[in-house]
Chain A
Amino acid sequence: MATVRLSFSPAPVHVRTARLVGVAVARRAGVAEELLDEVRLAIGEACTRAVALHNQYGLADLVTVEMSDSDAYTVRVIDHAPIEASVGLTKLPPDELADESLTEDALTTGVGFALLAGFVDDLQVRPVDDGPGTEVRMVWPVQRR
């Protein structure tokens, strides 16, 4: 069951709000202080990806972020873009990163996945159960008070 659910229109300005809420709930859930920067970055990356996909496909649907602290701190970022996403695209090698032919958007996408994969030990990217879309699911341990 979600502790907090946030839905926002796919505009870049709202990604910061999602980060702030995600970190506030993480702190409240008991995620270690030293992990909060990583939580902030990972939620931001997942939301940035969702916003970019909605804009790319002209979707006005809301992006949803669900935060739950039942056993661990679980964050699900859900988009509705009609793509088959996976976490397969990870680290781009340095010579490719600096290559002239790589567009800024492609680089940002690759780097975004590298950050997600690098900062989140427990990460899953999978299709949503109903309709088109992807769920990025991230889990962090909590210290019980």
Chain B
Amino acid sequence: MELSLATRTVDEHTVLEVGGEVDVYTAPRLRERLVELVDSGVRSVVVDLGGVEFLDSTGLGVLVGAMKRLRVANGRFSLVCSKEALLKIFRITALDQVFPIFPTIEAATRGSDDSALS
């Protein structure tokens, strides 16, 4: 399935809903959207991976890049993911210790790191 991207606002957070396959072909579009958000002044980005069917190292690199970009801007970056197949990818790469990962958008926008899965 092709990559789909949709943004919405929840309080002061911008939620980017990602769907489909994030790979070496589609990841540049995800990078472009994340850069646009940060450049437009958004300072809290929640990336919802609920609709993602495939995620590879290129997609992970884009997510880390966005997190670093926001950190430089004193912003906040978090992920929403509850799919075991994707969580395993984060564990194997040790990125579960780098990203705040929440099970729901509500938990992510509530902003408590205590409720993060990692």
Contacts and interface: CB of A to CB of B under 8 A. Distances in A.
Interface of A: 12-13, 15-16, 19, 37, 40-41, 44-45, 48, 51-52, 91-94, 97-98, 100, 104-105, 107-109, 111-112, 114-115, 118-119
B98 A98 contact: yes
Interface stretch (B11-19, B43-51, B55-63, B103-111): B55-63
Contacts of B89: 41, 115
B73 interface: no
Contacts of B24: 12, 15, 44, 48, 51-52
B93 A111 contact: yes
Contacts of A115: 56-57, 89, 92-93
Given A15-B25, A119-B92, A104 B64 contact: yes
A92 B94 contact: yes
Contact of A114 (B68, B85, B93): B93
A107 to B, nearest CB: 5
**Chain B, interface size: which category?**
20 to 34
B94 A48 contact: no
A53 B54 CA distance: 22
Most chain A CB neighbours (cut-off 10 Å) among B58, B60, B67, B85: B58
Contact of A91 (B56, B58, B60, B93): B93
Contacts of B62: 104
A8 B60 CA distance: 24
B64 A107 contact: yes
A44 B85 contact: no
A114 B92 contact: yes
B95 interface: yes
A51 B57 CA distance: 13
A23 B23 CA distance: 16
A94 B10 CA distance: 29
B61 A37 contact: no
